[in-house]
């Protein structure tokens, strides 16, 4: 089992991506996909980062340009396969229904997120990541660096309301 420090390290990388989104006026969500380590304890320096992405829906004028969708495409290109077995996906906010569906289709084995989304979450609301009718159900680890992820989102929306 990977340590909390391990997961926090990669969630911090996702938070850096989320900060880039905020700077661009995008909803601050960031995503990182890594190759899962084969040995325990995992040396973070030896882990291959396959993808880093942040929301770009406004920038690209594309409703599907969520951090997870962009990262899934990058990781597939890095591996040369759409099946992302042997990976871990880190995202600052729980994936929406669209992203959760894409994660299932890509066969990502583990999804780690910071802040749950009780109104629109693909897992907590729609149960996509653990739906018994689907042939793939990733492990989920919510709540990693939740206060930092929450603070980034709240600060962004507070500033938007003040504009």
Distance of CA 34 to the CA centre of its chain: 11
Angle between helices 4-23 and 67-79 (to 10 degrees): 120
Beta bridge partners of 141: 112
Which residue out of 17, 26, 68, 94 is catalytically annotated? Answer: 68
Question: Is there a catalytic annotation at residue 68?
Answer: yes
DSSP-derived letter for residue 108 is -
Q: What is the CA radius of gyration of the chain?
A: 15
- Angstrom CA distances, 80 to 20, 44, 76, 155, stand at 27, 23, 6, 38
- What is the three-class DSSP state of 53? strand
Residues in the chain: 163
Alpha helices (runs of H) in the chain, residue ranges in sequence order: 4-23, 57-60, 67-79, 97-105, 146-162
Catalytic residues: 68
């Amino acid at each position: 089992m990977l340590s909390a420090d391990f997961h926090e390290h990669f969630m911090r990388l996702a938070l850096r991506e989320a900060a880039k989104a905020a700077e661009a006026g995008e909803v601050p969500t960031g995503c990182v996909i890594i190759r899962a380590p084969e040995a325990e304890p995992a040396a973070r320096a030896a882990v291959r980062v396959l993808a880093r992405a942040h929301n770009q829906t406004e920038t690209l004028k594309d409703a599907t340009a969520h951090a997870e969708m962009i990262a899934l495409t990058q990781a597939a290109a890095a591996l040369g396969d759409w099946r992302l077995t042997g990976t871990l996906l880190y995202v600052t906010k729980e994936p929406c229904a669209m992203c959760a569906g894409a994660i299932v289709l890509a066969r990502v084995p583990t999804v780690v997120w910071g802040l749950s989304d009780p109104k629109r979450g693909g897992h907590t609301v729609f149960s996509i990541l653990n739906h018994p009718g689907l042939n793939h159900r990733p492990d989920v680890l919510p709540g990693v660096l939740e206060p930092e992820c929450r603070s980034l989102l709240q600060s962004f929306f507070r500033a938007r309301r003040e504009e």
